[in-house]
């Protein structure tokens, strides 16, 4: 989306990378519609994570790191 808005102003001949994991950790995860990123429904960057995910994976105090730190 940044490319369209701030760089190229076109969706022709553009390629995106989409990784399907981790979306369950975000309050407003990325949506792909017809092979293109859809604008977030909520205002902002859509980077806010679920509190439970932060508690589990936050570094260094998250439970996921307990055996590694």
Statement: the pTM of the whole predicted model exceeds 0.85: no
- Among residues 20, 28, 22, which one has the least CA distance to residue 45? 28
Per residue in 1-40, pLDDT (tens digit) is 777 788 888 888 887 777 778 889 999 888 888 888 888 8
Give the CB-side neighbour count of residue 68, counting CA atoms within 13 A.
Answer: 9
Pair 2, 20: CB distance under 8 Å = no
Q: Which residue has the tokens 């553009």?
A: 14
Q: Which residue has the tokens 């205002």?
A: 43
């Amino acid at each position: 989306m940044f490319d369209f808005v701030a760089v190229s102003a076109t969706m022709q001949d553009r390629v995106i990378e989409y990784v399907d994991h981790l979306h369950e950790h975000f309050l407003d995860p990325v949506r792909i519609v017809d092979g293109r990123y859809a604008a977030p429904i909520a205002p902002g960057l859509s980077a806010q994570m679920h509190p439970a995910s932060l508690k589990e994976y936050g570094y260094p105090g998250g439970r996921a790191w307990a055996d590694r730190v």
